[in-house]
Structure 1
């Protein structure tokens, strides 16, 4: 079987900062290839009034606490920050991590985040248009930052929309993330390939990542056969993180 990379998304809800940081250190010591968190302001499931932490400052702590794994947001809500500021934040995290950062980005979808923090929710179409405009600005700002990133700071785009998101991915991204099941991932990946042909891009330049739950670990062979090169386990908790599923996934690598 083809070797694949293993990542873990440590969800910053229903836990403590001490437990998040301990889980990131433990995952790094286990030899994961990547560590991620998410960019929301409230829990996505469980108690809607439960503990929750902001993503980029959480990621900064993880960058300082680890030494091996690449790090990123799966994914940043584009509507939450000025694009130039986001480029600078990602470049700074890249320096803190000695060149291990991704810049993960998506159009944004969680209406509560927008409403409670004063961002315009708009429509799916307006958010996708804003994502494409932001990517132009982010790339331009990264090229002007002094000092530049230490690493290659790949841009990852999350989403599976076939008419717009995958076209944007083909044009701008170094990596792409979506979900299963394997047959859906295979279909979306083939649509991305077609968009790459349309915009004149080598599809092999775009890393294919898939986010899975613990219940999907037994399907990892099918995801790899469908084209995934990087499998990211989504890990939630109530208190300290239990990384048994991550250990199972690593064993299959």
Structure 2
């Protein structure tokens, strides 16, 4: 199972804070560094303020060398898909082909109001067209043109440049980056994942529904003739691990969470407990876990997971 570090910089982090965590991610052998794409804190003062996801990833593309980089997830409300396709392709070039794009419909109305970003009531159509557009722009052969006429976006005679370094996991003959689609919806989200995504992510689900949600997305793949085995199945859960109960309780307090609640819903407790939980998820089909790290100053937390959890899951 791959273990990826996942951060929430809108809660308060500078680029240098994120760089320190990304370098620790790389040094300690984790697979990837991901970040949320939000512009407003969800509790606390949020100081020193938010950082832009794709600006951050552009910097990390040059300041790291091995780990994969991406968003979980960018909001379709934040960027025009033509601009997003350019940004992601450029950061992929800057990283030497290490970028992944998580894309969702967006949900946090307050951040849109705070920064003057339109927040339409119905956004699933935006997401659907954005997925079609960004993959279509990347996949258009060099020298050809791309046009699109949808309910939300119109592109005319686009040169569809620049191209990512990577090739599309769904069609290796075309350029593209791995796309991540996630959610807990019963029908539309699995269908989008089956059509466009290299990876389907369950973000903070109740653990009892994981198997059901995976069956749903596998069925969506089969409905369109796609082999479900070609879709990576992943999960994102909060991380809080201590070498003993006292250290675990201290880390839970540092992020403002109750130990019992963390044990019920996250990757929490002693290393042995976390290994058992991840091993159980692996048996259900999860091959990649995003470890939501909420205290970016606690490098010892990452060191403990790298030393006492990761080796048991390789």
Common fold by TM > 0.5: yes
User: SS in structure 2 opposite 1:31?
Assistant: coil
User: SS in structure 1 opposite 2:92?
Assistant: helix
Q: Distance in 2 between matches of 1:46 and 1:189?
A: 35
Check conservation: 2:5, 2:292, Cα contact below 8 A: yes
Structure 1 runs of 4+ aligned residues shifted over 6 Å read none
Q: Distance in 2 between matches of 1:94 and 1:157?
A: 18
Check conservation: 1:38, 1:76, Cα contact below 8 A: yes
User: SS in structure 2 opposite 1:19?
Assistant: helix
Name 1:56's counterpart in structure 2: 54
Q: Distance in 1 between matches of 2:67 and 2:206?
A: 26
Q: Distance in 1 between matches of 2:18 and 2:40?
A: 16
Asked whether 1:176 is paired with 2:197, we answer no
Task: Please report how far the alpha carbon of residue 239 of structure 1 lies from its aligned counterpart in structure 2 after TM superposition.
Answer: 4.7
1:243 corresponds to which of 302, 309, 313: 302
Name 1:231's counterpart in structure 2: 289
Check conservation: 1:14, 1:237, Cα contact below 8 A: no
Structure 1 pair 46–249 and aligned structure 2 pair: CA distance change class (3 A): farther
- TM-score, length basis structure 2: 0.74
Name 1:194's counterpart in structure 2: 219
User: SS in structure 2 opposite 1:60?
Assistant: helix
Check conservation: 2:12, 2:46, Cα contact below 8 A: no
Q: Distance in 2 between matches of 1:64 and 1:23?
A: 15
Name 1:151's counterpart in structure 2: 166
Q: Distance in 2 between matches of 1:128 and 1:245?
A: 40
Deviations 1:39-59 (A, max 9, x none): 000112333566321111111
Check conservation: 1:83, 1:137, Cα contact below 8 A: yes
Asked whether 1:207 is paired with 2:232, we answer yes
Structure 1 pair 42–55 and aligned structure 2 pair: CA distance change class (3 A): same
Deviations 1:184-210 (A, max 9, x none): 221111110111122222111111111
Task: Please report how far the alpha carbon of residue 243 of structure 1 lies from its aligned counterpart in structure 2 after TM superposition.
Answer: 2.2
Name 2:4's counterpart in structure 1: 7
Task: Please report how far the alpha carbon of residue 165 of structure 1 lies from its aligned counterpart in structure 2 after TM superposition.
Answer: 1.1
User: SS in structure 1 opposite 2:44?
Assistant: coil
Check conservation: 1:78, 1:107, Cα contact below 8 A: yes
Which stretch of the first structure deviates more once superposed, 146-155 or 4-13?
Answer: 146-155
Check conservation: 1:19, 1:240, Cα contact below 8 A: no
Task: Please report how far the alpha carbon of residue 138 of structure 1 lies from its aligned counterpart in structure 2 after TM superposition.
Answer: 1.0
Asked whether 1:29 is paired with 2:27, we answer yes
Check conservation: 1:16, 1:239, Cα contact below 8 A: no
Consecutive unaligned residues of structure 2, counting only runs of 5 or more, are: 141-159, 168-176, 241-265, 268-273
Check conservation: 2:34, 2:72, Cα contact below 8 A: yes
Name 1:138's counterpart in structure 2: 134
**Count of matched residue positions in the alignment of Structure 1 and Structure 2:** 248
Q: Distance in 2 between matches of 1:122 and 1:16?
A: 30
Structure 1 pair 52–11 and aligned structure 2 pair: CA distance change class (3 A): same
Structure 1 pair 94–206 and aligned structure 2 pair: CA distance change class (3 A): same
User: SS in structure 2 opposite 1:102?
Assistant: strand
User: SS in structure 2 opposite 1:213?
Assistant: strand
Structure 1 pair 30–43 and aligned structure 2 pair: CA distance change class (3 A): same
Q: Distance in 2 between matches of 1:97 and 1:171?
A: 26
Task: Please report how far the alpha carbon of residue 244 of structure 1 lies from its aligned counterpart in structure 2 after TM superposition.
Answer: 4.2
Name the Cα RMSD after superposition. Answer: 1.9
- TM-score, length basis structure 1: 0.90
